Structure 1
Amino acid sequence: MSVRVTADRLAVEHSKGLKGRQRKSYDRWLADLKLRGCAAMQYRLHGEVVEHLCVSHLYEALRVVVAFESPRSAVIVLLGPHDDTDPGLDVYTRLYALAGIPVPTGKRTKPPCCAADGKPPALGEELGGLVDRMREQARALTGRLR
C-alpha cells in the first residue's frame, strides 16, 4: 500500500526545524506512514470529533497528529512537543485550541488508530470541517507571526 501524505502549514514549519534524533525519528515515521498507513500510528485521540485523529510519539516528547482523508491519503495536522508544563508549546493544547473545542478532562483512552478491518478512522464531514477550520486558523496564526 502507498499512502499519499500532505501536511498543514504549522506541521511543515515545525518539521523544518527538526534536527538530529528528532529528524531521524520523523523521517522514519513518515516513511512508515507512507508504507503502512494507519498501522504506523500508535493511537486515536479520545473525545468528540478528535476521536478521528491519530497520534504517534516520535523522539522524546515530539508528537505528530494525523487525519486520514481515506486509507490511502493522510494529512499531518500538527507536529510538536507534548509539554504539560507549557500549554503554549503543548501539541495537544494547540490542537484543541485550533479546533475550537475544550481540552478534555478525566481519564483518556488510547484506542488503536486502525479499526478491526485495518482501515483508519473515516474523515467524515464533521472532521473534514474541523481540519478545514484548523487550516484556516493556522494560516491566520502564521500570518501574524511573520
Structure 2
Amino acid sequence: MLYAAYTLVAFNRLHPLYDRPGEVFRAPYDSTVEELFDGAHTGEQLMRGTPGALDEVLTEHGRALLADPTGPPAAALRTTDAVCTDWTPRAPVRLYMATADEQAVTANTEHCRAALRGKGVDAPVVDLGAVDHHGSRHLGANIAATSEIVRWFGELRRS
C-alpha cells in the first residue's frame, strides 16, 4: 500500500496525475499523504500515517491510474524504466541486490546490468545474500548495501 501511495505522490510531482489529492486518495488521507512523503518523515511515521489496505487509501480513480496507466502515468513509468537504459556511465558502476529482499525484485538488477552491458559498461553485481534487520530483509539489504558502497567509494578515492 505504501509504495502505491508513494508512486502516485512522487509521479504527480514530476508528471501531473491529479489536481487535488482527493481525486486519488480517500479521506482522511487526502489531506495527509502528500506531506508524509516529504522526505522528512521516518518509515515508522509513514506506516502509522497510512492504512494497511489499498482500498482504504485509494479512490477508484487512484487504483485505475496504477492498474491501467495511460497518458501521464504511462509517461512516468517509461521514465522510471529508462533509469538504466537512457545513459552511459562515465564512472565506475556497481549494482547491489539482496536475494532475500521481500520488496525489491532482483530481476531489475539483471535488466539494468544487461542494459549497461549493451552500452559497453561492465557493471558487476554485488549480491548481499539474505540479510535481515529486525525482521526486515529490505531494511537489512539497505543497511548492508550502504556499508558496502561507502567502503567501495573509499577504495575508489584511494586509487
Higher helix share: 2
By the TM > 0.5 criterion, same fold? no
Structure with the greater relative contact order (CA < 8 A, sep ≥ 6): 1 or 2? 1
Q: TM-score, normalised by structure 2?
A: 0.27
Which has the larger Rg?
Answer: 2
